[in-house]
Amino acid sequence: MKRIYDKTLLERYIRQFGIDALFESDMRPYMSLFSYDRGECICNNGDVMEYFYFNVKGKLKIYTLMENGKSLLLRFNKPLSILGEVEFLSGYRVKCNVDSLNEALLIGIRMEDIHKYAGNDPTFLKYVIQCLGYKLYTISNTTSINLLFPLEKRFASYMISIASDETTLQRQNEIKTSNMIEMATLLGTSYRHLNRVMRELADQGIISKKNGNISILDYTRLKEMAGGLLYE
């Protein structure tokens, strides 16, 4: 973790995501910009959260780590999203682990400052509620899906959801898989099993794997296989 003393960059991100509009007063004086390297840990189970963060660049991995060493990915976190909103009012210690997956930039505000200057700011509080509501909803959804459907269906629906990119509004038929292991944990399964299921789909001519990319060959059958499931 490095602090970046670049007011211009900070300002650019505030503008880009409209972060100033989330507060009724100007919080800029209390904001710092931090950068994290690929794979760097942002916080761990048991930590006391010193900052409230806005993730403005990079993908974060949020996961639990159990006593027996098993871990489960809870979600990925992409800009714009927040970190520390649970701890902000409760004062609890952190319960999850958060790692940066690539180079990430976070805007941090000290917990004392956010308490002092935004602790009674309805605009900000409502934003936090929305974020929390969204997180609660998605995790409930994922939980059910993970437990109730076999990987084949989950994989199919996952593929469809990332293939239809909301930004371009057009379907990508080629998906670059940054990392199979990451994908496996996201789907709540083992790498081995994901591999097995993917090969079955490949054998059936529904997808194909080529130099690390997955191509959708038969979108119709893939959609059929997902059977209405939606990962959000």
Residue among 78, 139, 164, 172 that touches a second copy (CB under 8 A): 139
Residue 100 tokens, joined: 């940066």
Residues whose CB falls within 8 Å of the CB of residue 54, separated by 6 or more in sequence, listed in order = 17, 19, 79, 80, 81, 82, 83, 106, 107
Kindly identify the residues of this chain, within the stretch 97-126, that bind a second copy according to CB under 8 A: 119-122, 125-126
Interaction with DNA in 78-137: which residues (CB under 7 A)?
none
- Residue span 186-205 as binding mask against a second copy, x where in contact by CB under 8 A, dash where not: --x-----------------
Q: Compute the Cα dihedral for 222, 225, 228, 231 and give only its sign.
A: negative
The entry of a second copy, DNA, none that residue 141 binds, CB within 5 to 8 Å by partner kind: a second copy
In this chain, which stretch among 31-39, 80-88, 173-181, 205-213 interacts with a second copy, using CB under 8 A? Answer: 80-88
Strand positions, DSSP E, the chain: 2-4, 31-36, 41-43, 51-57, 60-65, 71-77, 81-83, 97-100, 104-110, 174-176, 207-210, 213-216
CB count in 10 Å sphere of residue 89: 11
Binding residues for a second copy restricted to 4-63, rule: CB under 8 A:
none
By CB under 7 A, residue 143 contacts DNA: no
Tell me the window of 11-19, 50-58, 79-87, 101-109 that interacts with a second copy (CB under 8 A): 79-87
- Backbone torsions φ then ψ of 162, nearest 5 degrees: -85, -15
Q: Does 33 bind DNA (CB under 7 A)?
A: no
Q: Which residues bind DNA (CB under 7 A)?
A: 70, 149-152, 177, 179-181, 188-193, 195-199, 209, 211-212
